[in-house]
Structure 1
């Protein structure tokens, strides 16, 4: 009987989605583990307990955000919920870190045309990244759970780790290095040689056929239902609210601001800037830091 009512619910929902002007809105809470970042401050005598507390509070603010996804049957826009920051917050190193994470802007996905566009601000410059949607080779599972009253199914996929997403970076520890390189050779070391970056990451998603659109937060898509939760091992994005056919319709259009580049071109620009700042070293440049 329970299975019958579930199938009936899916059928009725599918009929409502056939409406020409269908649109939906979903609110997501994003939270990234800061354990690896906190470990970089352990044993550093230059950082007082007060300073560490302030850093942790700012990191929490930066790694815990709310996003809004507006979607229809073929496209969506995903962006951070606007909020007023307290004076003095989000400045200096935290602002730079946020820039390396590619924060801000609007993430547009068109599952019919299989393209995405994202407007990004990086080091004071505006970019419009346009490329093909990631092809997730989802492995479906019979495992189920309920999220926000919706019946969800589990799916997993393995994808290459992004070299320009700060959340994937892990500073190498001295004891992880087999031997120190000569100074001449060290000068030629790439920024990417100074960090531990996984080759692949496993994505775990929970989607609901009760909302039959192939959409989700950030760049996630490709399942027979809206993705209500997704985890990449470090960041969890969980849907906290869904509104179908809201009274106020959103304008689901691709962003147009910034220099248009492919994802590869944008990544190359970011990595080049990281290496330039790494070479500046003690002169105030960007450093990942090393464990003690």
Structure 2
């Protein structure tokens, strides 16, 4: 395909996409590699290699999820696919704990025209509505291309702030494994959570976008490229598009969510850090205060 033909196709696509009733849908498969960081929080104490491997595999499986992005020319909603749980998918408490660890991943709404971002999150039965300005992402075009499905995609990278409400972004501080290995459960419960972990200020993300789908949308909070983002990775979590449907017949409501206590991203991060300290005291200690959990005041 020569350059003139390519530009003509993009132009015609824009006419279609900006029609009043246009809507598209993309399916993303999300996978997360946990590495050894989570295990170091307990110093590997009383944990055989077999048990460690079993826990890692179980957590990895629970972090493999399917998400749906419904989008039009200016708005999008990104949320986990609803499905029935199969066998060995973990119990309710495990899922609740994983939800807390990942910052209560919920419905993401983006409006690129108004530059607004709204995220519905639920942590231990408490609903929040994170309301903030859509973060500006300064993309660097890398000049590389590859095929994802039938689409020619182009590579872009960016440095973005780390979401401190997602504990997957944290890592043990240097030397913490050695410091924790001889502590009793009660001593661990009294150890300040933030004395054990740290989060980098920012992280590098790599995205692959398709100019043939000229909407400035993508999974989660990612946006701002001249084409739909079909893959994005931060080195730990990768979201890869497995299906795209344009001009869908079964149109969905793409509208701003309203449920939950409204907080900013910074306020939600503070709430999550306090909650993780409570969980550390509760489950790292002797179980005291187990009935006194509260979220967000």
Using the size of structure 1 for normalisation, the TM-score is 0.85
Q: 2:285 aligns to what SS in structure 1?
A: helix
Q: 1:146 aligns to what SS in structure 2?
A: strand
Deviates more, 1:143-152 or 1:126-135: 143-152
Partner of 2:133: 132
CA contact 1:30–1:66 (8 Å) conserved in 2:
yes
Q: 1:77 to 1:278 in 2, by over 3 A?
A: same
Partner of 2:81: 81
Partner of 1:192: 194
CA distance in 2, matches of 1:176, 1:278: 16
List runs of 5+ in structure 2 lacking aligned partners: 180-187, 289-297
CA distance in 2, matches of 1:12, 1:63: 39
CA distance in 1, matches of 2:138, 2:153: 19
CA distance in 1, matches of 2:217, 2:49: 45
CA distance in 2, matches of 1:200, 1:101: 17
Partner of 1:250: 252
- Aligned pair count? 277
Deviates more, 1:229-238 or 1:138-147: 138-147
CA contact 2:76–2:110 (8 Å) conserved in 1:
yes
The alpha-carbon deviation at position 137 of structure 1 amounts to 1.2
Q: 1:220 aligns to what SS in structure 2?
A: coil
Partner of 1:182: none
The alpha-carbon deviation at position 275 of structure 1 amounts to 2.2
Q: Kindly report the root-mean-square deviation, in angstroms, between the aligned alpha carbons of the 2 structures.
A: 2.7
Q: Kindly report which structure 2 residues correspond to 1:178-257, keeping only aligned pairs within 5 A, or say none.
A: 190-257=192-259
The alpha-carbon deviation at position 15 of structure 1 amounts to 2.1
Q: 1:255 to 1:47 in 2, by over 3 A?
A: farther
Q: Could you give the per-residue CA deviations for residues 47-87 of structure 1, whole angstroms, max 9, x where no partner exists?
A: 573x4454234212221111000000110000001111136
Q: Kindly report which structure 2 residues correspond to 1:57-206, keeping only aligned pairs within 5 A, or say none.
A: 57-86=57-86, 89-172=90-173, 174=175, 190-206=192-208
CA distance in 2, matches of 1:189, 1:55: 23
Within the alignment, does 1:283 sit opposite 2:286 as a pair?
A: yes
Using the size of structure 2 for normalisation, the TM-score is 0.84
Q: 1:95 to 1:202 in 2, by over 3 A?
A: same
CA distance in 2, matches of 1:39, 1:268: 24
Deviates more, 1:113-122 or 1:168-177: 168-177
CA distance in 1, matches of 2:245, 2:270: 39
Q: 1:108 to 1:162 in 2, by over 3 A?
A: same
CA distance in 2, matches of 1:31, 1:149: 22
Q: Could you give the per-residue CA deviations for residues 226-259 of structure 1, whole angstroms, max 9, x where no partner exists?
A: 1111111111111111000011001101111111
CA contact 1:58–1:94 (8 Å) conserved in 2:
no
